[in-house]
């Protein structure tokens, strides 16, 4: 008898805790099954029902699912699955039966899913041969308060690459229509091994429009991938538009940033016409994230570590991710200590950072390229060659599917498809504390003010370009005297003057200062490949 091979593409797991008003688990499942694109498999997950009530609910839902030809599984309870006669069970590691026992009780034709959260569990799981593996949680989720640490898409990818192609695998935890493509894309490993589907609870069960939620998830999963590198290249003539969007939308920049730079970040946000808020109270995050034109800066400079610090960052990341707001992550000091590097990697894995911004040591450390080497948090820079640094930002952006900015004497920016180098700026930028960090506020404001479906590489480059031009102007105004303190004040004034004026940003950020670096290299290309060559596009490489 061949083992069952269910369609796991859109896997609905029920929940009776977070239902919308006037609905039940039954009514939500019934609605989903009537959708144009219903879930391909359903699991009933009830933690508080008596056995009798659980069996009653499962029988009612099984009548529905069988009518629609959709397999039904029961979470944890082999006895309930046996009583109902449905297609199988999903098991965790503390459940009433292990996989071999469940297989003996249920027989060879039933589906048995098993959860895995780390490589140790995976190794054991492969030895008991379940039908499929549920990898998670991908992101932190309130639906399962006792969940293991989030894996992020790098963690899912790492587990997936150790699962034989013959065994099916899905991901679960914090997945919704806004991040599902990224989860599918980023978890694909280099050999092309991909997830067989995604499991969602609240994205459907908590929705007042469950039919729409199913259809949207189906369509998002099956759209041509958004994340293939496109031919989009920045249009320098759009620079003024990005700045004008700030005047139009007055974006709010939610900062969780370090104590040393709070005042500088607030002043710089105000100088460009954005509105700063420094909130480290998780009770406010959902309300802040729900406002229009919001960006978030997560800067780990004052790294206190510990669970509270972790929850603060992951909580803000989650709320802004749910709303699709841009998040600028500054992994301050990630190149200085291993505790910081591990924390930074956990943040990048625990949600989606729209832009990762750091100096050479921080970005290399996050990319797993360099062991701890910086002496402090201030930027060791300028050590790598242009070719090497361009490849580092390109590869990290490709892997994370976001924008990576490496600041230094030259700034390198990549979205994986296109890699740029900006050569303007002032020596004072590295001599006044807070100036580097506050660039994150300006980038967040430019991204938050941009149209929702816009590629953000243009706004990011305009933000950096405008910042660097203001820094150069302030230096010029000092007329050669060495006055970092005065420079800082003049810099804020120059920034305000450029941001609030109608000066032509395109001309200010002169084209020769924004160079596109081509043929930077593809993910997986062996080191020591060809150098940078103008005129050859990565897409053709
Ligand atoms: C499809 C799928 N994957 C993982 C889980 C989690 O199961 P488990 O680890 O047993 O945790 P609980 O669901 O029992 O809280 C799942 N239910 N479904
Ligand atoms: C059951 C389970 N197992 C790992 S995360 C999770 C809950 C996922 O819920 P949601 O899709 O609402 O984040």
Q: What are the pLDDT digits (tens) for 42-73?
A: 999 999 999 999 999 999 999 999 999 999 99
Q: Which of 41, 115, 147, 203 to mutate to test the pocket of ligand 1 (most atoms within 8 A of CB)?
A: 115
Q: How far is it, in rounded angstroms, from Cα 3 to Cα 109?
A: 6
State the DSSP string of 191-243: T----SEEEESHHHHT-S-HHHHHHHHHHHHHSPPTTS--S----GGGHHHHH
In a domain, 538, yes or no: no
Query: Domain range spanning residue 98?
Result: 10-222
Distance from the alpha carbon of residue 440 to the mean position of ligand 1, in angstroms: 38
Ligand that comes closest to the CA of residue 321: 2
194 and 330 co-located in one domain: no
Q: Report residue 382 as tokens.
A: 């300028």
Check residue 524 and give its pLDDT. 32
Q: Which of 222, 248, 268 is the last residue of a domain?
A: 222
198 and 296 co-located in one domain: no
Check residue 532 and give its pLDDT. 27
CA distances from 147 to 92, 151, 267 (A): 11, 11, 40
CA distances from 199 to 225, 418, 419, 473 (A): 19, 33, 35, 53
Check residue 535 and give its pLDDT. 28
Q: In what order do the strands lie in the sheet with 327-330?
A: 275-278, 252-256, 294-299, 327-330, 355-359, 403-407, 411-414, 419-422, 514-517
21 and 104 co-located in one domain: yes
Which atom of ligand 1 is nearest the CA belonging to 172? Answer: 3
Check residue 275 and give its pLDDT. 98
Contact (Cβ atoms closer than 8 angstroms) between residue 136 and residue 115: yes
Q: Report residue 337 as tokens.
A: 């200590």
Q: How far is it, in rounded angstroms, from Cα 171 to Cα 27?
A: 25
Q: How far is it, in rounded angstroms, from Cα 362 to Cα 336?
A: 8
The residue whose CA has the least distance to atom 5 of ligand 2 is 173
The residue whose CA has the least distance to atom 12 of ligand 2 is 202
Distance from the alpha carbon of residue 129 to the mean position of ligand 1, in angstroms: 17
Ligand that comes closest to the CA of residue 198: 1
318 and 446 co-located in one domain: yes
267 and 205 co-located in one domain: no
Ligand that comes closest to the CA of residue 47: 1
Q: Report residue 192 as tokens.
A: 């092309």
Q: Which residues line ligand 2 (CB under 6 A)?
A: 13, 136-137, 141, 143-144, 147, 172-175, 200-203
Which atom of ligand 2 is nearest the CA belonging to 174? Answer: 13
Q: Which residues line ligand 1 (CB under 6 A)?
A: 11, 13, 43, 45, 75-76, 90, 92, 95, 113, 115, 134, 136, 144, 170, 172, 199
CATH number at residue 14: 3.20.20.70
In a domain, 122, yes or no: yes
Ligand that comes closest to the CA of residue 75: 1
Rama region for 293: left / alpha / beta (φ>0; ψ in -120 to 50; rest) = left
Which atom of ligand 1 is nearest the CA belonging to 117? Answer: 9
Q: How far is it, in rounded angstroms, from Cα 208 to Cα 349?
A: 30
Q: How far is it, in rounded angstroms, from Cα 404 to Cα 363?
A: 8
Nearest to 182 by CA among 159, 154, 205, 148: 154
Nearest to 420 by CA among 489, 348, 353, 514: 514
Q: Which residues are catalytic?
A: 437
Distance from the alpha carbon of residue 172 to the mean position of ligand 1, in angstroms: 8
282 and 351 co-located in one domain: yes
Map tokens 């943040």 to a residue: 347
Q: How far is it, in rounded angstroms, from Cα 371 to Cα 342?
A: 11
The residue whose CA has the least distance to atom 2 of ligand 1 is 134
215 and 242 co-located in one domain: no
Distance from the alpha carbon of residue 223 to the mean position of ligand 1, in angstroms: 27
Check residue 95 and give its pLDDT. 79
In a domain, 532, yes or no: no
ipTM: 0.99
Neighbours of 537 (CB within 10 A): 14
Check residue 502 and give its pLDDT. 79
Domain count within the chain: 2
Contact (Cβ atoms closer than 8 angstroms) between residue 32 and residue 204: yes
Contact (Cβ atoms closer than 8 angstroms) between residue 541 and residue 529: no
The residue whose CA has the least distance to atom 12 of ligand 1 is 92
262 and 402 co-located in one domain: yes
Mean pLDDT (10-residue bins), the chain, 541 residues: 86 96 97 97 95 98 98 97 98 91 96 97 97 94 88 88 95 89 80 92 95 90 55 69 93 97 97 97 94 97 91 89 87 92 86 91 88 55 80 87 91 89 92 96 96 81 94 93 95 94 80 75 34 27 22
CATH number at residue 481: 3.40.1190.20
Task: Report helix, strand or coil for 132.
Answer: strand
Distance from the alpha carbon of residue 116 to the mean position of ligand 1, in angstroms: 9
Q: Which of 222, 247, 273 is the last residue of a domain?
A: 222
Q: How far is it, in rounded angstroms, from Cα 197 to Cα 206?
A: 20
Q: Which of 137, 207, 350 to mutate to test the pocket of ligand 2 (most atoms within 8 A of CB)?
A: 137
217 and 345 co-located in one domain: no
Burial pattern 64-96, b for ≥16 Cβ within 10 A else e, equals bbeeeebbbbbbbbbbbbbbbebbbbbbeeebe
Q: How far is it, in rounded angstroms, from Cα 213 to Cα 206?
A: 10
Contact (Cβ atoms closer than 8 angstroms) between residue 424 and residue 513: yes
Q: How far is it, in rounded angstroms, from Cα 199 to Cα 98?
A: 21
In a domain, 231, yes or no: no
In a domain, 533, yes or no: no
pLDDT tens by residue, 378-398: 555 556 788 999 999 998 987
Contacts for 295 with CB less than 8 Å, ≥ 6 apart: 251, 252, 253, 254, 325, 326, 327, 328, 443, 444, 445, 447, 448
In a domain, 539, yes or no: no
Residue 98 sits at φ, ψ, to 5 deg, of -90, 175
Contacts for 98 with CB less than 8 Å, ≥ 6 apart: 91, 128
Q: What is the pTM of this model?
A: 0.66
Q: How far is it, in rounded angstroms, from Cα 347 to Cα 201?
A: 23
In a domain, 536, yes or no: no
Beta-sheet pairing, 294-299 with 514-517: unpaired
Contact (Cβ atoms closer than 8 angstroms) between residue 90 and residue 74: yes
210 and 257 co-located in one domain: no
493 and 396 co-located in one domain: yes
218 and 240 co-located in one domain: no
DSSP letter assigned to residue 147:
P
Contact (Cβ atoms closer than 8 angstroms) between residue 398 and residue 392: no
Distance from the alpha carbon of residue 420 to the mean position of ligand 2, in angstroms: 39
Q: Is 2 exposed, middle or buried (0-12, 13-18, 19+ CB in 10 A)?
A: exposed
Q: Which of 222, 250, 273 is the last residue of a domain?
A: 222
In a domain, 522, yes or no: no
Q: Which residues on adjacent β-strands are paired with residue 276?
A: 253
Q: Report residue 184 as tokens.
A: 């599918």
Check residue 40 and give its pLDDT. 98
DSSP letter assigned to residue 524:
T
Q: Report residue 509 as tokens.
A: 């950020």
Map tokens 């199988």 to a residue: 88
DSSP letter assigned to residue 146:
T
Contact (Cβ atoms closer than 8 angstroms) between residue 408 and residue 392: no
Which 3-state string (H, E, C) describes 455-493? Answer: CCHHHHHHHHHHHHHHHHHHHHHCCCCCCHHHHHHHHHH
């Amino acid at each position: 008898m061949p083992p069952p091979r269910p369609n796991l593409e859109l896997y609905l797991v029920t929940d009776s805790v977070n239902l919308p008003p006037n609905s039940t688990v039954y009514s939500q499942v019934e609605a989903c099954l009537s959708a144009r694109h219903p879930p391909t498999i359903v699991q009933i997950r009830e933690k508080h029902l008596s056995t009798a009530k659980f069996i009653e609910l499962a029988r009612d839902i099984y009548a529905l699912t069988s009518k629609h030809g959709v397999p039904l599984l029961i979470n944890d309870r082999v006895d309930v699955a046996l009583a109902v006669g449905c297609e199988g069970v999903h098991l965790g590691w503390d459940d009433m039966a292990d996989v071999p026992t469940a297989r003996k009780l249920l027989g060879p034709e039933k589906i048995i899913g098993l959860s895995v959260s780390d490589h140790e569990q995976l190794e054991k799981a492969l030895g008991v041969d379940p039908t499929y593996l549920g990898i998670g949680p991908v992101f932190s989720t309130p639906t399962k308060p006792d969940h293991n640490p989030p894996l992020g898409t790098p963690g899912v990818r790492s587990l997936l690459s150790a699962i034989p192609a013959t065994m099916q695998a899905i991901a679960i935890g914090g997945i919704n229509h806004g991040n599902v493509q990224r989860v599918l894309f980023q978890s694909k490993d280099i050999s092309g091994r991909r997830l067989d589907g995604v499991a969602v609870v609240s994205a459907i069960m908590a929705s007042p429009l469950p039919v729409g939620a199913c259809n949207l998830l189906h369509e998002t999963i099956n759209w041509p991938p958004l994340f293939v590198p496109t031919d989009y290249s920045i249009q320098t003539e759009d620079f003024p538009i990005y700045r004008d969007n700030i005047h139009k939308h007055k974006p709010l920049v939610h900062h969780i940033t370090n104590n040393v730079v709070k005042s500088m970040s607030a002043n710089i946000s105000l100088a460009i016409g954005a509105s700063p808020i420094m909130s480290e109270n998780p009770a406010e995050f959902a309300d802040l994230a729900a406002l229009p034109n919001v960006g978030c800066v997560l800067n780990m400079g004052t790294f206190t570590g510990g669970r509270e610090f972790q929850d603060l960052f992951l909580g803000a990341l989650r709320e802004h991710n749910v709303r699709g707001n841009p998040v600028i992550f500054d992994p301050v000091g990630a190149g200085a200590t291993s505790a910081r590097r591990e924390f930074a990697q956990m943040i990048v894995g625990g949600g989606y950072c729209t832009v990762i911004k750091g100096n050479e040591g921080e970005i290399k450390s996050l990319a797993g390229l360099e062991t701890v080497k910086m002496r402090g948090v201030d930027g060791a820079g300028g050590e790598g060659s242009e070719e090497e640094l361009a490849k580092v930002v390109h590869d990290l952006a490709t892997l994370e599917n976001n924008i990576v900015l490496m600041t230094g004497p030259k700034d390198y920016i990549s979205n994986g498809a296109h890699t740029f180098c900006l050569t303007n700026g002032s020596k004072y930028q590295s001599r006044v504390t807070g100036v580097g960090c506050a660039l994150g506020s300006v980038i967040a404001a430019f991204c938050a003010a941009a149209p929702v479906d816009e590629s953000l590489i243009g706004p990011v480059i305009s933000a950096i370009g405008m910042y660097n031009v203001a820094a150069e102007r302030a230096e010029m105004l000092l007329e050669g005297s060495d006055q970092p303190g005065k420079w800082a004040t003049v810099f804020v004034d120059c920034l305000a003057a450029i941001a609030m004026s109608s000066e032509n940003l395109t001309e200010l950020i002169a084209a020769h200062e924004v160079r596109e670096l081509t043929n930077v290299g593809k993910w997986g290309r062996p080191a020591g490949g060809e150098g940078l060559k103008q005129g050859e596009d990565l897409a053709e490489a």
